[in-house]
Amino acid sequence: MSPNLAKRGPPNVIYHCCHNGWITEELFVILLHHFIFHAKPTKEQPVLPVTDNHKTHTSLTAYNVCKENGIIVVTLPPHTSHHLQPLDLTLFSSLKAAFNQECDNFLRSHRHEKITPYDIAAIFNNAYVKVANIAKGVTGFASAGIFPLDPEKFTEEDFAVRLEVEQRLNVIEDKDVAVGVALRDTSISGVEDSPTTARMDTDINKDLTPDHIDVGSLQNSPTMPCSDAGAQPQSKVVSFKSLCPTPQSKIAQITSR
């Protein structure tokens, strides 16, 4: 990675890139070592990080790193981060607003110029120092009911409508997929086993393979607290729902039933 991408960014942090722009298993392991270097967990005094249960967070390598270093990971159930993710509750919205404001300030002060990847670290740093503080972190954990622990913070009713909508949409999707499979079997039978398809899958897998990163080099680098809160999905499987999304009016009708 070019050091210019980190120019004037937050100090004492680590920077890495991947091919597809999302979190990967290798990058998460690097994040774990970054966390270990700062938090100093041990088997006698373990720490309890909270993350989502994305597949990049549950690899065997990550499990072994956590087991060897006294880390007990708690993962959030799917579709609950808007209630249970501390940073979602107290930081991300204000950080996003501050970042957008800094982008506007940059464009006003650099007329006839555009924002490039080499400007992002400095712009983000300006926004981050304005909104990030310990108070927001403490409030986030309390708002999520994680610490102090509050088992009565949320009830089943908080998730009832969402669950009902998802169940109804899954029924519709299953029916449509079944019809699509039947048509595919009669009209383009054998395409899934074609050599061309196999080569395409191999090329995609090669493109998504991250470069090797030396984890050992992190042990002597200065670090600061960080959070992996919003891992984006890296799966390339295209679902029927993404090809034919249900209109918002349809969801509203289902919800009102």
Instruction: Render each residue's pLDDT in the chain as its tens digit; 257 residues.
Output: 888 889 899 888 888 888 888 889 999 999 999 999 999 999 999 999 998 888 899 899 999 999 999 999 988 888 888 888 999 999 999 999 999 999 999 999 998 899 999 999 999 999 999 999 999 999 999 999 999 999 888 887 776 666 666 677 676 665 555 544 444 444 443 444 444 444 444 444 444 444 444 545 444 444 444 444 444 544 444 444 444 454 555 445 544 55
For the segment 2-21, what is each residue's pLDDT rounded down to a tens digit?
A: 888 898 998 888 888 888 88
The C-alpha angle with vertex 47 and arms to 80 and 39, in degrees rounded to 5, equals: 110
Q: Specify the 3-state DSSP secondary structure of 254.
A: helix
Instruction: Report yes or no on 104 lying in a domain.
Output: no
Structural tokens at position 117: 């990847």
pTM: 0.59
- pLDDT given at position 108: 94
- pLDDT given at position 39: 92
- pLDDT given at position 109: 93
Rounded-to-10 torsion of CA 246, 250, 256, 257: -90
Full domain range(s) for residue 222: 3-91+132-256
Helix residue spans in 110-247 (DSSP H): 117-131, 134-143, 157-187, 195-207, 240-243
The CA distance from 241 to 255, in Å, is 17
Instruction: Report yes or no on 172 lying in a domain.
Output: yes
Instruction: Report yes or no on 26 lying in a domain.
Output: yes
Instruction: Report yes or no on 115 lying in a domain.
Output: no
Instruction: Report yes or no on 174 lying in a domain.
Output: yes
Total of domains in the chain: 1
If you ran DSSP here, which 8-state letter would residue 101 be given? H
For the chain, the distance separating the N- and C-terminal CA atoms, rounded to the nearest angstrom, is 52
Instruction: Report yes or no on 97 lying in a domain.
Output: no
The CA distance from 124 to 117, in Å, is 11
- pLDDT given at position 80: 84
Structural tokens at position 176: 């449509």
- pLDDT given at position 78: 82
- pLDDT given at position 226: 43
- Contact in structure between 84 and 76 (CB atoms under 8 Å): yes
- pLDDT given at position 35: 93
